[in-house]
A and B are shown apart, each in its own frame.
Chain A
């Protein structure tokens, strides 16, 4: 069964601190995605990747970096976290729109 695992499930960070959200998939998918979800908005795409070593900007990349060191792992990095980045973050893997699998999300609070 397709699996996408995110860690941590919950994170509290301070303003100006560095935060790294991790995502691991065992689906052997080339493509991976990072979304954020806020009340009043649908999921919004932050960064995505077509394979190891590749990262691409999504619709709202400002304030975020991404890293894809391997097929299985895709990280989202907040170098200088701000309260506006408080949100729920979802990672997904999938090679097509009908094979997109999401993790259970990371709830990030920036104080």
Chain B
């Protein structure tokens, strides 16, 4: 599986819109971009995923560059509950869920 690169940490304030970047320059054509998040003392939780088109759900908006070499997870109006480590992962949809987790981006939200 191709590798992703994320910043180690980002800071935000409640109510802000946060943009979490992810670089995946060597992504292959059949790889989807997945985002998981992990709050302290819990296992990771699925956030969203996409292949080429931008996607949105109740948790976040995923913007994917036209060349697919980067993506951005956008969290609108963050609250303290959004403080977590966010992981950007490449995997084949529907295939094995053997996900390879990096260290992710630690998002800090202050009031």
Contacts and interface: CB of A to CB of B under 8 A. Distances in A.
Interface in A35-62: 35, 40-45, 48, 58-59
B93 interface: yes
A99 B91 CA distance: 12
Interface string A66-104: 000000000000000000000000101011111111111
Secondary structure type dominating chain B contacts: loop
Nearest to A102: B43
Contact of A95 (B36, B87, B97, B104): B97
Interface residues of A, number: 27
A87 to B, nearest CB: 14
A42 B87 contact: yes
Interface of B: 32, 34, 36, 41-46, 49, 87, 89, 91-104
